[in-house]
Each structure stands twice: as C-alpha cells, then as structure tokens.
Amino acid sequence: HPQAQRPVGLPRARYGGRNAVTMLPGGGIGPELMDYVKEVFLEGGIPVDFETIQIDPKSDNNDDLEYAIMSIRRNGVCIKGNIETQSLDSAIISRNVAIRNELDLFMNVIHVQSYNNIRSRHKNVDVIVVRQNTEGEYAMLEHESVKGVVESMKVITKTNSTRLARNAFELAKNNGRSKVTAIHKANIMKLSDGLFLETCKNMSLNYPDIKFDHMIIDNCCMQLVSNPHQFDVMVMPNLYGSIVSNVICGLVGGAGIISGKNYGDHYAVFEPGTRNTGSSIAGTNTANPIAMLNASADMLEHLGHRVHCDKIRTAISKTLNEDMVHTPDLNGTAKSSDVVQNIIKYVKSIGGRI
C-alpha cells in the first residue's frame, strides 16, 4: 500500500535524531486512537516525540487553539483527530477549519486504495482525491441580511486553484498516474466553479503526458458508486471534496480505514481521511484504529522514516488481509485493542526495536 506523495519536501523539527510532532487528539475516539499510535511507536522503537495538546471543545476562548497552532508552526508536522467545537458562541468557528486556514493548508490529499480482504462495494479501487482545503463554502462568510434570509459566500480564487491544480498534476506525474479529472459544477456556478475549471484546464497544458478531463459533481457521485475504476487522480473544490472523499472511503470499507494528508507550503497535518469524531463509539474498544495508524505511517513517510513507515503499512496489510483481524465496522468481531496488538506483533518482528 504505497501512498501518493506530495512532490515538495516541507520543513520538520528534529532534535537529537528524533522528530518532534504535534499531536491533537481531538474529541470522540480521537484520544484512544492516539494512545494506539503512541503504543505502536513505542513498541516499534520509532524515533518520534509527540507534543500532545488537548483543545477543550466547550471553551469560549481560543487559547488552546492558538497554542496548538504555535506548536505546529514550531514542529512543522502534526497528527490530529477531529476537534469538536461545542461553544454556542457563533464567533467561535470550527477549530479544524481554523487550523487549516491559519496554517494555509490549501491541499487535502486522500489516496484511497482497497484492501483485498475487506468486504466492500468494489475491489481494486485506487484513486487519489486532491481537494481544495481552505476556501469555497468553507470561507465561513455567512450573515443574515434581513430576517429569514441568510447569505453564505463561496470563495474561489485563482491563486489557490492554480497551486492546487499544479500540485494535482505534479502528484500525478511523480506517482506514475495517467489521468487527472477536475470535478465541478461550472454549468450552474459559472463564475466560481468556472474559474476553478478554467484554471485546471490551463494547468493541464503544461502536462501533455497526463490526460485531462472533467466531470460535473452530480454525475461524478453516480459514476463513483457504479464504476470507481474509471478515476485516477481527481481534483476539486472544498465542499465537493468533502463529499467525494466520504463516498470513496465508503466504497472501500468506511470511515475507519483511509488516512488523509493536509499540506501547505510550510506545514503538513495528518489525520483520518473522513475526519469523523465517532462520539457514539468512544470508549467502547470498537473503533477501527487503522485510519489513524495509516495517518501515522503517512507522517513517518513525510518525516523521511521510510523503514518505519513500511513496517506499519506492512503490519496493517497483514492484519487486515492475511490475519483478518477486523473491527465491527468491517463486519468483524475484533476489538480495537486486538487489531493494535496484532499490528504491534508485526511491527516488533519486522526490524524490531532500534
């Protein structure tokens, strides 16, 4: 299960041969999943130190958030769960969105690959979703202009569309992919999605070896469900990306499997691909730990710890495909801790402690 890598190296903190990484457990199942990551790293002798920051979901101030952002700026790299924002104060925006905006993490990449022995709608899916991560409907510019009329602004900029499109094509080129498909609704949103589509088209002219096509978001959803194999690399604005990512992750086994990567020019943040909180299953030892462990493997790849990354990915693949240790979301009966112990068994036997 090699993952598509962003072409450009980004800075990261390293002290005495060990990497420092910010860890934001978030709410719901986040803290237990992070405990599993720490356990696997400890047992595998993986040279990463975590700076763990818990953000209080009920807080009406942003002190924790600001501290977390400062930590990511210092370390360059972060692993996170989904952070809840329970404050009733409408001025307190989603902390997840705030982190992405503050750090200018303009790109989200989800590489969705099937695991052979997971029961799923489709086999052999292998699609890379490149999603704009900081604008579109997530600009969060909403107001009630007159009583009963709410306006919400969707922002598409040429700058962000251009750098997203460039990265999508570079990713395709560097990972031996042959096609990039832009997803849009330019037939209705002629100016905003029109700009996005036009930018992708123009960028494609610089990459004559990569086929370029485009598809309207509604047709895209239907095509994904009926024949996902036609897609290779997909590039799209923010909200479509949220929906498409969830559809594709659902096709290969659901929320507990696939990881996601957020990149800007300076920072990288790793998390489960579908960004769920999973409050309803928190503390039940049933959450699937794989998506977060895959995120930790992506993080190790980014840090340049190729061997450790491969160890975790191999352990995951053996656990899911050969030993079939599956949590209930995959129709199995294993506990989260059974999956983690099985992974640790392999992480220790492949290379062992360092």
d(CA 121, CA 337) in angstroms, rounded, equals 26
d(CA 131, CA 29) in angstroms, rounded, equals 25
Candidate segments 202-210, 237-245, 260-268, 284-292, binder of ligand ATP by CB under 6 A: 284-292
d(CA 197, CA 191) in angstroms, rounded, equals 10
Q: Is 256 in the site for ligand ATP (CB under 6 A)?
A: yes
Q: Is 255 in the site for ligand ATP (CB under 6 A)?
A: yes
Q: Which helix H or strand E contains 5, and what residues bound it?
A: none
Closer CB to ligand ATP, 159 or 284, in the complex: 284
Please, are residues 23 and 79 in contact by the beta-carbon 8 Å criterion? yes
The single-letter code of the amino acid at 6 is R
Give the SS3 label for residue 244.
helix
Give the per-residue contact string, 108-147, with ligand ATP (x = CB under 6 A; - = no): ----------------------------------------
Candidate segments 6-14, 156-164, 170-178, 276-284, binder of ligand ATP by CB under 6 A: 276-284
Please, are residues 313 and 305 in contact by the beta-carbon 8 Å criterion? no
Give the per-residue contact string, 14-43, with ligand ATP (x = CB under 6 A; - = no): --------------xx--------------
In degrees and rounded to multiples of 5, residue 153 shows phi and psi of -95, 135
**Cβ neighbourhood burial of 107 (10 Å; 0-12, 13-18, 19+):** buried
Q: Which helix H or strand E contains 333, and what residues bound it?
A: none
Closer CB to ligand ATP, 262 or 288, in the complex: 288
d(CA 87, CA 81) in angstroms, rounded, equals 18
Task: Tell me how far, at minimum, the Cβ of 272 lies from ligand ATP, in Å.
Answer: 6
Q: Is 281 in the site for ligand ATP (CB under 6 A)?
A: yes
Please, are residues 67 and 3 in contact by the beta-carbon 8 Å criterion? no
Q: Is 280 in the site for ligand ATP (CB under 6 A)?
A: yes
Candidate segments 104-112, 122-130, 216-224, 287-295, binder of ligand ATP by CB under 6 A: 287-295
Q: Is 329 in the site for ligand ATP (CB under 6 A)?
A: yes
In degrees and rounded to multiples of 5, residue 112 shows phi and psi of -100, 115
Give the per-residue contact string, 176-195, with ligand ATP (x = CB under 6 A; - = no): --------------------
Distance of alpha carbon 261 from the chain centroid: 4
Q: Kindly write down the DSSP assignment for every residue of 148-178, as one continuous string.
A: TEEEEEEE--HHHHHHHHHHHHHHHHHTT--
Contact with ligand ATP (CB under 6 A) among 3, 22, 101, 288: 288
Q: Kindly write down the DSSP assignment for every residue of 208-223, as one continuous string.
A: TTSEEEEEEHHHHHHH
Closer CB to ligand ATP, 28 or 76, in the complex: 28
Contact with ligand ATP (CB under 6 A) among 71, 277, 294, 296: 277
Task: Tell me how far, at minimum, the Cβ of 233 lies from ligand ATP, in Å.
Answer: 25
Task: Tell me how far, at minimum, the Cβ of 294 lies from ligand ATP, in Å.
Answer: 11
Q: Is 287 in the site for ligand ATP (CB under 6 A)?
A: yes
Q: Is 250 in the site for ligand ATP (CB under 6 A)?
A: no
Q: How would you label 162-199 residue by residue, b for 16+ Cβ within 10 Å and e otherwise?
A: bbbbbbbbbbbbebebeebbbbbbbeebeebbbbbbeb
Count of residues in contact with ligand ATP, rule CB under 6 A = 14
Closer CB to ligand ATP, 29 or 344, in the complex: 29
Q: Is 259 in the site for ligand ATP (CB under 6 A)?
A: no
Contact with ligand ATP (CB under 6 A) among 291, 303, 339, 344: 291
Closer CB to ligand ATP, 174 or 279, in the complex: 279
Q: Is 159 in the site for ligand ATP (CB under 6 A)?
A: no
Return the C-alpha torsion angle 71, 73, 75, 81, nearest 10.
Answer: 60
Binding residues for ligand ATP (CB under 6 A): 28-29, 255-256, 276-281, 287-288, 291, 329
